Every structure is written in structure tokens, then in C-alpha cells.
Structure 1
Amino acid sequence: MAAPESVKIGDLTGNWVMNKSLSGDTDSVLALQGVSWFLRKAIGLATVTQHLKQYFDEKDPSITHIDFTQTITGGIKGTTELRTLDYQWRPHSDYLFGDLKGRSRWIKLADLNGADEDQKFLRQDWLPESAEGEMVESYVENDDKGWTGHQVWGFQEIEVAEKKERRHVRNVVVRKGDDVQRVKLVFDWAGKDE
């Protein structure tokens, strides 16, 4: 389902279902990140829902938090990620991606850094509300498995049944040595919890 105009990057609170038919090849990305073949196939068959809660820090209201839990159908254990948009390094560990460190922040598209091809991919296809406003940038490193992940969150128009619909999208670049995977993750709006 298209994201309603009332849902903005400043408040993504709600439920988002990854639309596999509109998203890119996630299997290759997960393989590069060292996720086992069996688990990748199970995830490929499952529905992945992210339950996001976005809020301001109680002690410093200039800092935004985005907490999300992923639920995966088929009995696959989900993950929880807590993002603080202050660009400070924080450790994270889960069964799917292992031990890593990451940082997140608000960013203007013009301020993105990175390799030319990666930067071009991260910058492409955004609606003016994203391209001209602030977006969420997230960067992670997994030293044990030797990969990095860079993603930008915002809104894009995606073609669905021959018409354009506004969707929440994450442009993602994962690198391991000379190997690189670039994927667009498209999410359907599933509403807010009562």
C-alpha cells in the first residue's frame, strides 16, 4: 500500500512491510553479509514487517530515535534495531548479522559522501520532499565478516500496476572488499497500531 501523504520522514512510526516484488535482489546482499543459504531462502519465502517507533530523546529533544523490530513469518526469529540519529558509533549484535557497529543521522542529499558509483546509487530517484529535505543515513561495519553497509531512507515514486505510488524506500549499498551489492528496498504502509 502506498504511504499516505501524512506520513513523513519526520515520523515513520507505524508498520512497514517489505514489498519483495518491488524491491531489488536481497538474497545477493544477504549472501555478501555472510547469511547462510538456508536462512536466506527462508527469508526469501517469508513476509518481513518492520514495526517502527520514532521519537525525540527525553534529555535532548534535538536527537531523534528510530527503534524497530522486525517480524518474519514462517517461524523465523526477527531482529531489533535501535537507531539514534546523532552519528555516534554504537555496537549492535544479532543472530542474523553478527557483531557490528553503526551510526545514523539526519542528512541532506547534497552532503552524502562515498565512492562515486555508490553515491550515485544512494542519491537516485528521490521525491523532492526527500531530495530537498532531510533524509535518514545509516552506516554499519561488520569487522568479523568484513562488510560495510550504507543506506539512505526517504520517499520515492514507485510504479505499481502502471501508476506511480509514493513509497518509503531505502537505497542500500553493501561492500565486502571489491564485491558490492546495491539494492532498493521498497516498503508498503501497513498502518499504525491501535
Structure 2
Amino acid sequence: MSNTKTLHDLSGKWAMNRIKSSDVSPVLEIQGFNALIRKAVSYAPVNLKVTQHGDDEIHIDQTTTASIPAIKEEWYPKDHEWRETKDSFLGRVKSRSHWAKVSELEQGFLTEGLGGEDEIIESEVEALEGTEWKATQVWLMEGGRFVRRVVTTGKGGEKAETRLVYDFEQG
């Protein structure tokens, strides 16, 4: 693990640290995935390939060894504009992101334990088809690890908080 990675330099391959991450099953349940998919995702190793072009464009290809479609993400944190995409796993969604200081966000799970001037990326994703859900994420670095804190809410008020931690593998 390299401690030199920052949010301004995420490019490379990352592997999910299952010990430091929380269970993603409650999030997947809110998103409408059946028990078999939730179980497969919970146990399959998750890897990210991140390609970052400065501070304004980040591409994330998420893959698993399970027979589950990969998630492809495109983030443009400098413009904070909503973009629609169709993902093979999540379906049609809209998303946006922006650079922020912790002090600019509502305090709670997403900002717990962070300093007010810490720089993070806040991102939002909303389903546009199928089950109604919305996810708000905060991206940060902790001890050289890439961390996503996610709060997902469903139409009926269901809520799940998840912490996803990734270790840097190679550039």
C-alpha cells in the first residue's frame, strides 16, 4: 500500500479491503437487488481501475470475479452538473460530483471524524428506472486508502450507511 496517493491522483488499480469495509448488502437491497445478487456481491472480490485526468475527470471501472456486470462510473467534480448514464448493473442513473470541504456538508455519517477543512469529493447518484433510490457519497483518503462513505435512501424512507475501503495495488 502506498501512502502517497491523494484524491488528486487516484489513477491505478485498487482492491477492496473487506476487513475495513462494511457490508454492502443493505444498500443493494434498497436498490432492488435480489438476495442471490446481494450475497454474490458481498463475497466477491471487488477491484477498481481508476483513470484520473486532473481534478476535473475521473473514470472508475469496478469489476468482480463473480459473474456480475461491471459498474462504470464517470465523474466530473469541477462542473457539478447532472449527467445521465446507463450502467449494466445499476440501470439508468443520473449522477454528479464536486470538490468540497467537510465544513460545507451536512454533518453525520458522511463527515464523522473528519476535519472541517479536509478536502473531499461529494457525489450523488439517483436511479432513473426500476426501484427508486438515491445515494450520497463522500470520497476521502485515510492512511493511503481510498474510502467512500455512502448513504443510500429508498422511496419508503429505508436508509443504509456503508463504508467502502480500497487499498492501492499498482499504478
Q: Please, what TM-score do these two structures have when normalized by structure 1?
A: 0.80
Larger Rg: 1
Task: Name the counterpart of 2:111.
Answer: 123
Listed one character per residue, the Cα deviations across residues 143-168 of structure 1 (whole Å, up to 9, x for unaligned) are 432110000001225xxxxxxxx422
Which structure is higher in helix share?
1
Task: Name the counterpart of 2:166.
Answer: 187
Does residue 137 of the first structure (1) align with residue 122 of the second (2)?
yes
Listed one character per residue, the Cα deviations across residues 3-56 of structure 1 (whole Å, up to 9, x for unaligned) are x23211111111111112211120111111112222222222211101001113
Distance 1:53 1:185 in 2: 19
Please show how residues 47-126 of structure 1 align to structure 2 within 5 Å: 47-56=45-54, 64-85=56-77, 86-113=79-106, 119-126=107-114
Task: Name the counterpart of 1:40.
Answer: 38
Q: Which piece of structure 1 moves more, 70-79 or 9-18?
A: 70-79
The alignment yields a C-alpha RMSD, in angstroms, of 1.7
- Kept in 2: contact 1:16–1:189 (CA 8 A): yes
* Paired AA for residue 152 in structure 2: V
Task: Name the counterpart of 1:59.
Answer: none
In the alignment, structure 2 segments of 5+ residues that lack a partner are: none
Percentage identity across paired residues of the two chains: 34
Distance 1:102 1:134 in 2: 20
In the alignment, structure 1 segments of 5+ residues that lack a partner are: 57-62, 114-118, 158-165
- Kept in 2: contact 1:92–1:99 (CA 8 A): yes
* Paired AA for residue 17 in structure 2: N
CA deviation after TM superposition for structure 1 residue 125, in Å: 3.0
Moved over 4 A (4+): none
* Paired AA for residue 102 in structure 1: S
- Kept in 1: contact 2:121–2:139 (CA 8 A): yes
Q: Please, what TM-score do these two structures have when normalized by structure 2?
A: 0.90
Distance 1:23 1:104 in 2: 22
Distance 1:103 1:76 in 2: 24
* Paired AA for residue 125 in structure 1: G
Task: Name the counterpart of 2:140.
Answer: 154
Distance 1:64 1:95 in 2: 24
Q: Aligned to 1:121, what secondary structure does the other structure show?
A: coil
Task: Name the counterpart of 1:23.
Answer: 21
CA deviation after TM superposition for structure 1 residue 187, in Å: 0.8
For these two proteins, the number of residue pairs brought into alignment is: 168
Distance 1:182 1:171 in 2: 7
Q: Aligned to 2:170, what secondary structure does the other structure show?
A: coil
